[in-house]
Amino acid sequence: MQNQVDGHTPTGLGLRSPEIPKERSFIDPDSGEKIVKMGELTFPPRKVWMKTYGCQMNYHDTQRILSHLSELNFSATDEVEDADMVLFNTCAVRDLANQKFYSHLGELKHLKKKKGENLVVGVGGCVAQTEGKDLVKKYEHLDFAFGTDVIDQINDMVFRVYAGDDKFSINSWDRSNDFSIETKVVHGTPQAFINIIKGCNKYCTYCIVPYTRGKERSRRIDEIVRDVARLVEYQGIQEVMLLGQNVNSFGKEHDESLAELIMALGPIKGLELIRYTTSHPYDMSDDLIEVHGKAKKLSNHLHLPVQSGSASVLQRMNRQYTPEHYLGLLEKLRKSNPEIVLSTDIIVGFPNETQEEYQKTLDLLDAAQFDFIYSYAYSPRKYTRSARMEDFLTDDIRGERLRYLQKYQLGIQEKIRAKMVGKTFRVLVDGQSKMKGQTKWKGRTNCNRIIHFLPPEDQSELDLQWNWVDLKVTSATALSCQGEFLQTYGKRLNTL
């Protein structure tokens, strides 16, 4: 093992402390229930309620936390009233996410009052990384806080709480040489998130992520390939999402690259689809663009955040590229893979954004022809450089600009989506939804568009969950797309 430290198991999100006992489980002969012992403490079956905010990275971390906690006899519940432990996995990227978390945490005071010692409350994630110490001081009903790099120590922390330790907050960074981490999947679906790089070194002037997620650290290609092959063979995984704050920086410290990783994953038999997120345009290499044309299993969708169409705003954001460079990348990508579908992130109302600068972003939307966008009004964040910039814009102007931009994009999107009608797409069915009183199946295309469809008329009872099906698009608007069922391939495609 590459990064074994003092004989302890290497993990990517914090080493477990050597002095805390390990979990041992057995079946109670009287009740037949599973009991876990950790040192002198007994853990009967308990329930945990978790609330997750933020990006896919956080949702993935939540899965990892739940997987650890299952070893401590916790199972997840959707009913907060039934919970023995409540955990928040927080996001700090915009004030809105922040505020939601603070109000949820505040509301929990009543439940804690009612349940007393029988309820443990913890806060993890990006807010806890920077504010954890203040949080435990300020909120009486909060038992502990933990940052983003100590997730693999969750059972040790829970042990400390049940052992009666004082309130605590842990936000240390894992300083081992490599980032080595095995994926844990607890949801039983064919889709898995795979962490390939953590942290971010880009320091865009508006962004708090480098402060909440630390420095960039990549896993090794051979470890990831082994990890994915294992998930495909033993856990039925067919689709992977390679995750990181800036996956285009992947492997820099080891002379490896995302382009090489994607090519190395290709030969895994039974793996059908590879997606990755999120990218930074600065690191979008020619090799990677070429891979979009030749890697058969790579998704035809790419999310490439541009943030603004104005060169001067991009400079103030420290994005390190111009709108021309960005549009040049899109051109190369479309040449490499004519099927590619592109999406982006936009921030409107960066400090002192002028009307002309804002207009440049609308122009970029015209030039780029995105399939969809995520757009946000700028929100000043503690620790960031832009929060210290003088700013004459008002929230009203930001709101107005955001609403207009969203409407503008919908006009563009509608025309792009209309081109889908009549075409056939293969999708992995991932659930059902109710639409105008009808229950329809839904699935995501390779290029990341959701299509809703009815089962064939004579087979309305057919269970299509996690089937690969072919659908012909019958209608498409800017936001939703309907299809007609053509055929199913069952639950496995088994592409070589």
Reading the block at residue 4, the tokens are 């074994």
CA-CA distance, 441 to 142, in Å (whole number)? 41
CA-CA distance, 299 to 247, in Å (whole number)? 15
CB of 151 to ligand F3S, least distance (A): 13
Residue 210 binding result from ligand F3S, ligand SAH, ligand SF4, none, given CB thresholds of 5 to 8 Å by partner type:
ligand SF4
Residue the block writes with tokens 């980032």: 179
CA-CA distance, 204 to 207, in Å (whole number)? 6
Part of the chain binding ligand SF4 (CB under 6 A), chosen from 142-150, 175-183, 204-212, 431-439: 204-212
CB of 351 to ligand SF4, least distance (A): 16
Q: Would you count residue 209 as binding ligand F3S (CB under 6 A)?
A: yes
**Which of 85, 105, 123, 126 touches ligand F3S by CB under 6 A?**
126
Tell me the number of residues near ligand F3S by CB under 6 A.
13
Binding pattern to ligand SF4, positions 231-260, x when CB under 6 A? --------------xx--------------
**Which of 93, 128, 298, 451 touches ligand F3S by CB under 6 A?**
93
Binding pattern to ligand SAH, positions 82-101, x when CB under 6 A? -----------xx-------
Residue 347 binding result from ligand SF4, ligand SAH, ligand F3S, none, given CB thresholds of 5 to 8 Å by partner type:
ligand SAH
By C-beta, is 211 or 408 nearer to ligand SF4?
211
3-state class (DSSP) for residue 183: coil
CB of 129 to ligand F3S, least distance (A): 8
Longest dimension (CA), the chain: 75
CA-CA distance, 90 to 77, in Å (whole number)? 18
Binding pattern to ligand SAH, positions 375-394, x when CB under 6 A? -x-xx-x-------------
CA-CA distance, 174 to 191, in Å (whole number)? 28
CA-CA distance, 456 to 449, in Å (whole number)? 21
- Asked, as a colleague might, if the bond just before 477 is cis with ω within 30 of 0, I would say no
**Which of 68, 213, 217, 303 touches ligand F3S by CB under 6 A?**
213
Taking a C-beta distance cutoff of 8 angstroms, is the pair 19, 55 a contact? no
Q: Where does residue 305 fall: left (phi above 0), alpha (psi -120 to 50 degrees), or beta otherwise?
A: beta
Taking a C-beta distance cutoff of 8 angstroms, is the pair 220, 2 a contact? yes
Pick from 389, 368, 369: which is nearest to 380 by CA? 389
By C-beta, is 89 or 246 nearer to ligand SF4?
246
Binding pattern to ligand SAH, positions 296-315, x when CB under 6 A? ---------x-x--------
Part of the chain binding ligand SF4 (CB under 6 A), chosen from 64-72, 158-166, 195-203, 389-397: 195-203
Part of the chain binding ligand F3S (CB under 6 A), chosen from 51-59, 341-349, 357-365, 449-457: 51-59
| Order of strands across the sheet that contains 34-38 | 23-27, 34-38, 41-43
**Which of 15, 36, 50, 57 touches ligand F3S by CB under 6 A?**
57
CA-CA distance, 319 to 204, in Å (whole number)? 6
Taking a C-beta distance cutoff of 8 angstroms, is the pair 281, 325 a contact? yes
Q: Would you count residue 200 as binding ligand SF4 (CB under 6 A)?
A: yes
Pick from 361, 383, 257: which is nearest to 311 by CA? 361
Residue 379 binding result from ligand F3S, ligand SF4, ligand SAH, none, given CB thresholds of 5 to 8 Å by partner type:
ligand SAH
Sign of CA dihedral 464, 466, 467, 471: positive
Q: Would you count residue 280 as binding ligand SF4 (CB under 6 A)?
A: yes
Rounded-to-5 percentages of helix, strand, coil across the chain: 35, 25, 40
Q: Would you count residue 245 as binding ligand SAH (CB under 6 A)?
A: yes
Q: Would you count residue 207 as binding ligand SF4 (CB under 6 A)?
A: yes
CA-CA distance, 129 to 91, in Å (whole number)? 10
Pick from 104, 147, 156, 102: which is nearest to 124 by CA? 147
Q: Would you count residue 89 as binding ligand SF4 (CB under 6 A)?
A: no
Q: Would you count residue 54 as binding ligand F3S (CB under 6 A)?
A: yes
Pick from 195, 212, 172: which is nearest to 60 by CA? 195
Q: Would you count residue 202 as binding ligand SF4 (CB under 6 A)?
A: yes
Residues lying near ligand SAH in the complex (CB under 6 A) are found at 93-94, 206-207, 209, 245-246, 278, 280, 305, 307, 345, 347, 376, 378-379, 381
Residues lying near ligand F3S in the complex (CB under 6 A) are found at 54-55, 57-58, 91-93, 125-126, 208-209, 212-213
Residues lying near ligand SF4 in the complex (CB under 6 A) are found at 200, 202-204, 207, 209-210, 245-246, 280
